[in-house]
A and B are shown apart, each in its own frame.
Chain A
Amino acid sequence: MSEVILKCTNLHKKFGKKEILKGVSVEVEAGDILGFIGPNGAGKTTTIKLILGLQGITSGSVSINGYDIQKDFTKAIAKVGAIVENPDLYMYLSGYENLKLVRNLYPNIDNNRIQEVVKLVGLENRIHDKVSKYSLGMRQRLGVAQAILHKPNLLILDEPTNGLDPEGIKEMRELLKRLASKENMAVFISSHNLAELESFCNKVCIIKNGVVVETNNLLDMKQELVANKYLIEVDLAERAIQILGKYKAGIVEKNCIEIVIEKEQIPELIKEMVLQNIKIYSVKQEEVSLEDAFLKKTGGNIID
């Protein structure tokens, strides 16, 4: 068991009579990159704000590095870096001045660390320009630089790719990958944009209407959904189905069949088909994207 860094237990949040969160529990361990996924209005940002102490918790608890966020705020927040919604930057200051403001608020950050972080996010050439002249992608990078300046062991990012173009999204993804390995921090990242989380998250937590629908290891989840489904490309699909009558099989396309089968049985199956003179062009396991998994789990969000 690795160390638990962030632990949310049964979080509830009410705004007036409206209950936004109805018991959210989630854990992040050291080394985890957790994708916090849900459709718009599911309560992702609210959860993050509760974690960061930006909003009062109606009931439940958040503990970071063993400190309760409500009782021990300063200790709990000390090793957390965060971007909530948009990066919070002072537009009339330069990127460097923004970083210096952050540096002043933590002990033991020297100028070398600023240089290091600037290099890490790839802003060396523009760091002394005013932030108001930055593109959205550059602001996001600066936001990340601000969040990791004090070497946090938990990085919380709220939709870091929001509003970025495909190029920007790719850059951000690469930046985060680089960070996770280089700075060795647990990352809690929320998004409704699944495609890019898939490639580097090792855990997902799916939230819908303020309730956690699923928390799982990404591979396990895929496995479960895939459930040994294979696609076989053949010359005559209809004949193949007849031969494979004893298995659960179906025609997908004219010359492609889908079959649910144990892995060990596959050579047997191929042999059988070859003996029956069916030409096999390819056999492959069906790929399931996080997107499919997500849609299956949530089935869309109902905003009430």
Chain B
Amino acid sequence: MINLIRNELTKIGKKKSIYIVILLTIGYMVFSNFMYYKNSEYSYSYYSDGYVSYLEEELAKLDPSKESDVTMYLDLKTQLEIAKLSEQYEEGSWQANVIQNNAVEYIGELVRYETLGITQDQEYQEVKQNYEEFLEKLQEDDWKYFVNKELDTVETQIAEIEESKNKTVDKSLLQQYESTLQDLTLQEKILQWRLEKNISYANSEENNRLNQYATYARQVNEQAQIEGKNHTQQKEYQELVANMKLCEYDIIHNTNTQSTDNAKGQLAYVFSNYEVFLLIFVIMVAGVMISEEFNKGTIKLLLVKPYSRTKILLAKLITCFIILVLASIVLIALQGIIGGVIWGWDSYADPVTVYDFNINQVKEISIIPYVFTILLARMPMYILLITLSMAISTIVLNTALAVILPFLGYFAGTILNQLSLIYNLQFMKFFVPLNWNLETYLYGGLGEMQGMSMVFSIVICLLYFLLMTVVMTIVFKKKNIKNI
């Protein structure tokens, strides 16, 4: 048996096509890592070059003295002023971002007064003064001023709402207050974090994370309101909570574990990014293994040796699984090296973080065990696709079909999964594509559908595996070797 496997490995190892696929994979991985690396450095700008001149042209067409044009004129003029102010600062600087968020309240007013010609007004003076102070603070490079100011506003609002809340007894109103309060508390938390962790408004990972956290937290707050969630909603809620907690973890620990813009992040997603290449490789091996030997007649050489046919087939299947494991390890190693060279090696020391629903805590895992856990979780899919390929190869003896059909299964499986989740087709949970990726169950995650668990999925996968291997073995044993 071991000798049979050894022979199969020799035969595979001598094929040129294998090395061509490996080279292609490496080429693609280098290219993709490099492009991703380049992309991560690139930041987009709010304004394209022609934006200011476009606004000016449009403004020239409008006449502020006309009743019909005035709203439009005010709007465009405000935008123009904001754009002009923005241009004085570097793109992505905290000033530029503050201008984006806050300048409209000053400039909008100012433009209105100036356009309508009521510059003598007391209020205008006040507005102008505020605006100048705003500009001054921008110049002073004092972003904390803006944080404190926002914080003041939020705290005042909170106090007001608290007060109103205590006065009212209306239930629906009370609920409204409650949700507003939640939102304000969230804002307060973020602003406090800004001060505490020294995170300015400037474009940065940290700033980004704060924004992300805010988005997730808002969604979590919204979803928490829903009572009697169905399974899909529960699953969605679970994911949101996980994302929120992971952002929170990074903010509190001043870490960057969620980022994929480093070698570790790329390695963590190696299977979602490159599993197609892994599949091309193993399915090519599996699909060819039997049908080619039949079509070239070399199977006779094997079949007149003192081994039972079952053993011969089993040896081939095991060989494929060995190749699968080897190829997976090579894929991990390749991404590890390519990622290290392109992104730098430091990040491998950082842990991967996941949210564990069993203990309701963020868990730190180092990258190597994490990647292998993911591999293990996806193994049923790979094994089933390989078995499918071999089964087709054995039954119809057609290499092309044996290679193409598993791929069709792989892509169609993804689509079918989405469809069955959208339309909540319960019977689909007995169909293998919803079960062959166990990643969803990792760290206490919920299954894709009601009533699905890791054990359930493994049983379904096993059933399909057994069905295919039994049919394949029977066919292989009965096969007459035709004349060629």
Least Cβ–Cβ distance between A284 and chain B, in angstroms: 44
B483 touches A45 (CB 8 A): yes
B14 touches A92 (CB 8 A): yes
A85 touches B484 (CB 8 A): yes
Interface digits, A42-54 against B, CB 8 Å rule (1 contact, 0 not)?
Answer: 0001000100111
Q: Which of A53, A92, A93, A106 is within 8 Å of B303, CB to CB? A: A53
A90 touches B11 (CB 8 A): yes
Residues of A172-189 contacting chain B, CB below 8 A: none
Known A-B contacts A53-B303, A54-B480, A55-B480; A97 and B6 likewise in contact (beta carbons under 8 Å): no
A271 to B336, CA, bound (A): 103
Q: Determine the chain B residues whose CB is within 8 A of the CB of A75 once the complex forms.
A: 306
Least Cβ–Cβ distance between B480 and chain A, in angstroms: 4
Least Cβ–Cβ distance between B100 and chain A, in angstroms: 64
A55 touches B481 (CB 8 A): yes
A93 to B12, CA, bound (A): 11
A146: CB under 8 A from chain B? yes
Q: Determine the chain A residues whose CB is within 8 A of the CB of B16 once the complex forms.
A: 92
Least Cβ–Cβ distance between B481 and chain A, in angstroms: 4
Q: Determine the chain B residues whose CB is within 8 A of the CB of A49 once the complex forms.
A: 480-481
Residues of A83-102 contacting chain B, CB below 8 A: 84-86, 88-93, 97, 100-102
A45 to B308, CA, bound (A): 22
B478 touches A104 (CB 8 A): no
B481 touches A74 (CB 8 A): no
Least Cβ–Cβ distance between B157 and chain A, in angstroms: 76
A88 touches B300 (CB 8 A): yes
Q: Determine the chain A residues whose CB is within 8 A of the CB of B478 once the complex forms.
A: 56
Least Cβ–Cβ distance between A130 and chain B, in angstroms: 10
| Residue from the set B3, B15, B478 with the largest chain A CB neighbour count within 10 Å | B3
A273 to B14, CA, bound (A): 77
Known A-B contacts A88-B297, A93-B14; A105 and B305 likewise in contact (beta carbons under 8 Å): yes
A80: CB under 8 A from chain B? yes
B306 touches A77 (CB 8 A): yes
Q: Which of B15, B297, B304 is within 8 Å of A85, CB to CB? A: B297
B7 touches A74 (CB 8 A): no
A80 to B307, CA, bound (A): 13
Least Cβ–Cβ distance between A68 and chain B, in angstroms: 14
Residues of A15-51 contacting chain B, CB below 8 A: 45, 49
A92 to B17, CA, bound (A): 11
Q: Which of A52, A56, A93, A101 is within 8 Å of B304, CB to CB? A: A52
B297 touches A106 (CB 8 A): no
Known A-B contacts A93-B11, A97-B10; A106 and B306 likewise in contact (beta carbons under 8 Å): yes
A79 to B292, CA, bound (A): 27
Chain A contributes a number of interface residues (CB within 8 A of B) equal to: 31
Least Cβ–Cβ distance between A77 and chain B, in angstroms: 5
A78: CB under 8 A from chain B? yes
A148: CB under 8 A from chain B? no
A73: CB under 8 A from chain B? yes
The total number of A-B Cβ pairs within 8 Å is: 75
A112 to B183, CA, bound (A): 84
Q: Which of A84, A93, A104 is within 8 Å of B300, CB to CB? A: A84
Q: Determine the chain B residues whose CB is within 8 A of the CB of A90 once the complex forms.
A: 11, 14, 298
B3 touches A105 (CB 8 A): yes
| Residue from the set B10, B11, B304, B308 with the largest chain A CB neighbour count within 10 Å | B304
A85 touches B483 (CB 8 A): yes
Q: Determine the chain A residues whose CB is within 8 A of the CB of B299 once the complex forms.
A: 88
Q: Determine the chain A residues whose CB is within 8 A of the CB of B306 once the complex forms.
A: 73-75, 77-78, 105-106
A97 touches B300 (CB 8 A): no
Least Cβ–Cβ distance between A182 and chain B, in angstroms: 22
Q: Which of A56, A86, A92, A101 is within 8 Å of B7, CB to CB? A: A101
A82: CB under 8 A from chain B? yes
Query: Nearest chain-B residue to A49 (Cβ)?
Result: B481
A104 touches B3 (CB 8 A): yes
Query: Nearest chain-B residue to A82 (Cβ)?
Result: B304
A54 touches B11 (CB 8 A): no
A226 to B3, CA, bound (A): 54
Q: Determine the chain B residues whose CB is within 8 A of the CB of A146 once the complex forms.
A: 301
Interface digits, B282-300 against A, CB 8 Å rule (1 contact, 0 not)?
Answer: 0000000000000011111
Residues of A134-150 contacting chain B, CB below 8 A: 146
Query: Nearest chain-B residue to A78 (Cβ)?
Result: B306
Q: Which of A56, A88, A101, A104 is within 8 Å of B480, CB to CB? A: A56
A199 to B471, CA, bound (A): 49
Q: Determine the chain A residues whose CB is within 8 A of the CB of B301 once the complex forms.
A: 88-89, 102, 146
B4: CB under 8 A from chain A? yes
Q: Determine the chain A residues whose CB is within 8 A of the CB of B481 once the complex forms.
A: 49, 54-55, 84
20 contacts between A and B (CB under 8 A): A49-B481, A53-B303, A53-B304, A54-B300, A54-B304, A55-B481, A56-B480, A74-B308, A84-B304, A85-B297, A85-B483, A88-B299, A88-B300, A89-B298, A90-B14, A90-B298, A91-B296, A92-B15, A97-B10, A101-B7
- Which residues of A are at the interface with B, using a C-beta cutoff of 8 A? 45, 49, 52-56, 73-75, 77-78, 80, 82, 84-86, 88-93, 97, 100-102, 104-106, 146
The list of the 6 closest CB pairs from A to B, nearest first, reads: A88-B301, A54-B481, A74-B306, A55-B480, A78-B306, A104-B3
Q: A90-B11, A100-B10, A146-B301 are in contact. List 9 more A-B contacts (CB 8 A).
A: A49-B480, A49-B481, A56-B478, A56-B480, A78-B306, A85-B484, A101-B11, A102-B305, A105-B7
